[in-house]
Structure 1
Amino acid sequence: MKKSTRIIYFALLAIGIFFAVASCEETTETYSEFTKDGEIIYVGTPDTVIVAPGYEKLQFSIVINADPKISSGVLQTKDKSFVQEFDVQRQNIGQDTILFIANLDEGEYNFDVYLKDDSGNTSIPREVTTVVYGSKYQNTLLSRSISAIKVFESEAILSWGDVPNGSISTSLSYEDADGAMQTIEIPNDINETILTSYNLGGQIIVESIYAPSPNAIEVFTASSETVFPEQFQLNHTNITALRLPFDASDGCYVSSYERLTDGATGEYWHSCDSAEDQYPFVMSFDIGVSANLSGFRLDKRSACCGGRSPGAYQIWATNDLTGAETADIDAGELSDWEADATAKGWVKLIDVTGNTQETFEVEILENAENYRYIRIVGISSINGELNANFDEFTFFASGVE
């Protein structure tokens, strides 16, 4: 090798050694800077954090790895306004799960969960965002509604409204005929419940259950209370028309008395153009039982002409049809007909004037006697027409013999 070549070679080698030494010194200085207080030791990070809500509390399930140094942990909010430490007592040698409860006010939370060893070394925190439920959430919940209650002598029928969003189940507690409270479950797919024992005026409690999440450790309950009606509807299948002398006819336009007591609206009775059918008129019925009548309902013609419902009307009753035929109500004054009806054993239960409700339900005050035979006397219509039409008659009672 030529002398000049060797000189260049050794010069380059010296420069390389210089930079290598300088680099090592710089690396050593940087490492020393970060380890001047000792080497940082981390313990195992939580593998999984599962949060299950309750009422103003959360249950934490912390899955930890096999790191034997882990002895405790800390749950804290980002702003450290809430800090809760927990011990780690292993039940398994390898992976294990730590359970604990944190009591918190209702609201949204952003937590850090980290583990520690006995020397105070910590894991890298695992972030958890969750919600705590309480009274505010509770107050937004609704129980499933009862849209209608129909009670008959031997049964009560409860019709259910839609299931509230999030409700997982509903229970019904009710007072039976003996005054004892009974409780049954109402599945979400049930729209009607039939009770064969109930107490008039008795208590009804509905409770719907909510779980804010599938793994909730507690459920929330929304409840409502109502009562059974004080009266029951007489069975329409037992009611028949008497068709006493001078009573209104079966009517016209394919009408019949049976439409008035078939338990459904939509098909009407319509008067004929005859004096016996037009206002004033009389209709007489055998209700099938001797009952303490407590109410009467008339449903207007559903398609039209509700103004033809009675604006003034009376209801009369008796238990004996012997000699009970009355004079023609169209033959004289109303007062004359009333006097004749009273003389024949009929008892006036109600006398209404000035009614403006096309469909109405009227209370009949408590009677000292039960009655089986009923007369509906239409005196005048709401709109002043002579023609009459309506869909349904319903009779109510507080008891029967």
Structure 2
Amino acid sequence: MKTSNLICIATAIILILASCENIKDTYEEFVKDGEIVYVAKADSIKVRSGKNRLELSWLLLSDPNVAKYKVYWNNKRDSVEDILSRTSGIDTVRLLLEDMEEDIHHFSIFLYDKKGNSSVEATVIGKVYGDRYQISLLNRAYKSVSRINSKDIVVEWLPADINVVGVKSEFIDNNNILKNHFSSGEVILDTIRNFPLDGVLNYRTAFLPEVTAIDTFYTDYDSIPAPSYEVRCDKNLWQNAGLSDDSDEGTYAEWGISNLWNDDNNTDEMRNFFYQRDGYTVPNWFTINLGKRYNFIRMKVNQLIHNDFWKFGDGSPKKFEIWATNTPTTNWGDWNLIGTFESVKPSGLPVGQLSEEDHAANLAGEEYNFDPITDAYQYIRFKTLSTWGGVNHVCIRELTFWGLPADD
């Protein structure tokens, strides 16, 4: 029995030794030219996308023998290689690949020492952007554009796409200088200073397809025209200019000319108007100092409302002119005619007859638009040429002017 066991053990030892000999033969076949040496591979690989280009970067850590790299892509049909210069510390390699096709690319990076020994493969995926991405971009939308004053505007942007960096805009300012303005994607209310009343804001939106992208993409330019702007002339500043040839006296003190700019604060409709005294003739006029200069845009005339007799009747102005100046005198040569207007009765019925539409127009007041005015004026003259009732006195409940303040 013992002899049998010894024979088995001996047989096993012989088989093991034979197997080891085979392994040795295989190993020696692969290292017959020397021991295999692997170079440290690329570490901490990063990709930064761009427009038809891409940047690869990686770290060279502990291996001082790294002397060269080779990068493959496009199923290894394309490649680039270069020599590396090491320092004693950790080095960063940056590789910019230009003229790349817009697509997703798979990269393989190999490092080599001076003897040609290679690292194991290090891989990374990167995306290149181009025309397809470019044409997909839309300008940031805005909700509204309005004026803060005669010189500044505010654009209210809608929330931006996550890839929007901001909006770049340009315009010619009030000093005829080209101005560039940039607002980030987080900005909603965007104030733009010194913007002309007739200016145009050209803008385009900047996008980064990825946070670390090396290129910024821009949309084509769109334009925002200057927002309309007007203010109601401040009646707190108005005064009767009282020139010597004015027809500015009321029949009674409570029917005086200052009622024209009291904003109907006198709740007594029997007193809340200007009603000229007897003795004047038509045409006649009165002069108002508005307290500051305006480029006039429009005006409103409110007739008396407390009795049908005065609605499109009696002394309500039918045809009138508005004159303006900054040097008020009785010499008409110092004045500028800025508007000639005629009151229109909606129904066209004879004086004394009123439709519901006529009543509504009387209550609302009649608005008149001035032709564009380049100059600004502080003084206006209301010159009545004819009245609805053919009488020689004028009666008006309220006057209102709107324009662009020239002295902001």
Indicate the TM-score class for this superposition, using the shorter chain for normalisation: 0.5 to 0.7
**Structure-2-length-normalised TM-score:** 0.58
CA contact (8 A) 2:317 2:343 kept: no
CA contact (8 A) 2:46 2:58 kept: yes
**CA deviation after TM superposition for structure 1 residue 87, in Å:** 1.7
Q: Structure 2 residue aligned with 1:178, among 175, 179, 203?
A: 175
Alignment of 1:276-315 (within 5 A): 289=292, 291-293=294-296, 295-296=297-298
CA contact (8 A) 1:66 1:93 kept: no
**CA deviation after TM superposition for structure 1 residue 26, in Å:** 3.8
**CA deviation after TM superposition for structure 1 residue 56, in Å:** 2.3
CA contact (8 A) 1:286 1:374 kept: no
**CA deviation after TM superposition for structure 1 residue 374, in Å:** 9.6
Cα distance in 2 for residues equivalent to 1:329 and 1:257: 21
Alignment of 1:20-31 (within 5 A): 20-28=16-24, 30-31=26-27
**Structure-1-length-normalised TM-score:** 0.59
Which residue of structure 2 lines up, in the alignment, with residue 147 of structure 1? 144
Structure 1 residue 108 corresponds to structure 2 residue 104: yes
CA-atom RMSD in angstroms: 5.2
**CA deviation after TM superposition for structure 1 residue 178, in Å:** 1.7
Which residue of structure 2 lines up, in the alignment, with residue 191 of structure 1? 189
Alignment of 1:49-88 (within 5 A): 49-77=45-73, 79-81=75-77, 83-88=78-83
Cα distance in 1 for residues equivalent to 2:92 and 2:218: 30
**CA deviation after TM superposition for structure 1 residue 61, in Å:** 1.4
Structure 1 residue 162 corresponds to structure 2 residue 158: yes
Q: Structure 2 residue aligned with 1:395, among 391, 402, 405?
A: 402
Which residue of structure 1 lines up, in the alignment, with residue 199 of structure 2? 202
CA contact (8 A) 1:239 1:286 kept: no
CA contact (8 A) 1:84 1:102 kept: no
Which residue of structure 2 lines up, in the alignment, with residue 16 of structure 1? 12
Deviates more, 1:96-105 or 1:129-138: 129-138
Deviations 1:321-374, CA, capped at 9 Å, x for gaps: xxxx9xx985476799564546999944588999xxx9xx99643369877559
Cα distance in 2 for residues equivalent to 1:58 and 1:128: 12
Change (3 A) 1:43 1:162: same
CA contact (8 A) 2:109 2:122 kept: yes
CA contact (8 A) 2:39 2:112 kept: yes
**CA deviation after TM superposition for structure 1 residue 99, in Å:** 1.4
What is the letter of the counterpart of residue 225 of structure 1? S
**% identical equivalent positions:** 19
CA contact (8 A) 2:46 2:57 kept: yes
Which residue of structure 2 lines up, in the alignment, with residue 365 of structure 1? 371
Count of paired positions: 322
Deviations 1:241-295, CA, capped at 9 Å, x for gaps: 99x9899xx9xxxxx9489xxxxxxxxxxxx9xxx9xxxxxxxx986545443x4
What is the letter of the counterpart of residue 224 of structure 2? T
Cα distance in 2 for residues equivalent to 1:57 and 1:233: 51
Alignment of 1:201-280 (within 5 A): 201-206=198-203, 208-222=205-219, 224-229=222-227, 232-234=229-231, 236-237=233-234, 257=263
CA contact (8 A) 1:86 1:100 kept: no
Cα distance in 2 for residues equivalent to 1:343 and 1:96: 81
Structure 1 residue 90 corresponds to structure 2 residue 85: yes
Could you say what secondary structure the match of 2:4 adopts?
helix
Change (3 A) 1:343 1:352: closer
Could you say what secondary structure the match of 1:16 adopts?
helix
CA contact (8 A) 1:316 1:346 kept: no
Cα distance in 2 for residues equivalent to 1:349 and 1:164: 48
Which residue of structure 1 lines up, in the alignment, with residue 397 of structure 2? none
Cα distance in 2 for residues equivalent to 1:237 and 1:170: 37
Change (3 A) 1:164 1:239: farther
Cα distance in 2 for residues equivalent to 1:108 and 1:125: 19
CA contact (8 A) 2:319 2:342 kept: no
Change (3 A) 1:315 1:73: same
What is the letter of the counterpart of residue 226 of structure 1? I
CA contact (8 A) 2:322 2:380 kept: no
